[in-house]
Amino acid sequence: MEFNIFYKKNNDWFIGHIQEYPDYESQGRSLDELRENLIEIYNDINEGLVPDAEPFQLMEVAI
């Protein structure tokens, strides 16, 4: 499994989401904790435990 995580540091927390599922944020005191939390979310989505989760699509635009 491979996916991209977007994150930022806010005080002592790392806050982020999976690129395809920006509606499902998580946080962690370290990047490892954030990664583990987001892996759990990803697994829940793939197992159908989050029935309304629809992935966002990526559109590349050249200007």
Number of domains present in the structure of the chain: 1
Please state, in angstroms and rounded to a whole number, the distance separating the CA atoms of residues 39 and 16: 12
pLDDT attached to residue 24 = 97
Q: Does the residue 23 lie in any domain?
A: yes
Q: Does the residue 38 lie in any domain?
A: yes
Q: Does the residue 27 lie in any domain?
A: yes
Q: Does the pTM exceed 0.85?
A: yes
Q: Does the residue 20 lie in any domain?
A: yes
Q: What is the pLDDT of residues 17-48, one digit of tens each?
A: 999 999 999 999 999 999 999 999 999 999 99
State which residues form the domain around 41: 5-46
Residue 39's CB: how many other CB atoms inside 10 A?
15
